[in-house]
């Protein structure tokens, strides 16, 4: 094994993020050798990870909106009356 060559492993919910094309080709070669069920499992885990990120982003922007509307009401209506 080459000193700079990476060991390619398939971790649940983690998609490859390689900087050079040699590592990407090695990943794609190992992906081709996986069974159909393992490919389905890998893709399902990646989709689950993406959905989790999306739902976290939606929750963040929901609470950011609620906070900004609340602060706007506070600044526009309640503070001037004090």
Q: How far is CA 56 from the centre of its chain?
A: 10
Sign, Cα dihedral of 41, 42, 46, 49? positive
Q: How many residues does the chain have?
A: 82
DSSP state of 6: P
CA distances to 7, 12, 21 from 45, in Å: 20, 6, 24
Note down pLDDT in tens along the chain; length 82 residues: 455 555 656 665 455 666 677 777 887 888 888 899 998 998 898 899 999 999 999 999 999 999 999 999 999 988 877 6
């Amino acid at each position: 094994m080459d000193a700079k060559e990476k060991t390619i492993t398939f971790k649940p919910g983690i998609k490859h993020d390689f900087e050079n094309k040699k590592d990407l080709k090695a990943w794609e070669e190992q992906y081709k050798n996986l069974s159909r069920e393992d490919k389905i499992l890998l893709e399902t885990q990646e989709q689950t990870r993406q959905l989790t990120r999306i739902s976290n982003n939606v929750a963040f922007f929901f609470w950011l909106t609620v906070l900004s509307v609340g602060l706007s009401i506070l600044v526009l209506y309640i503070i001037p009356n004090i």
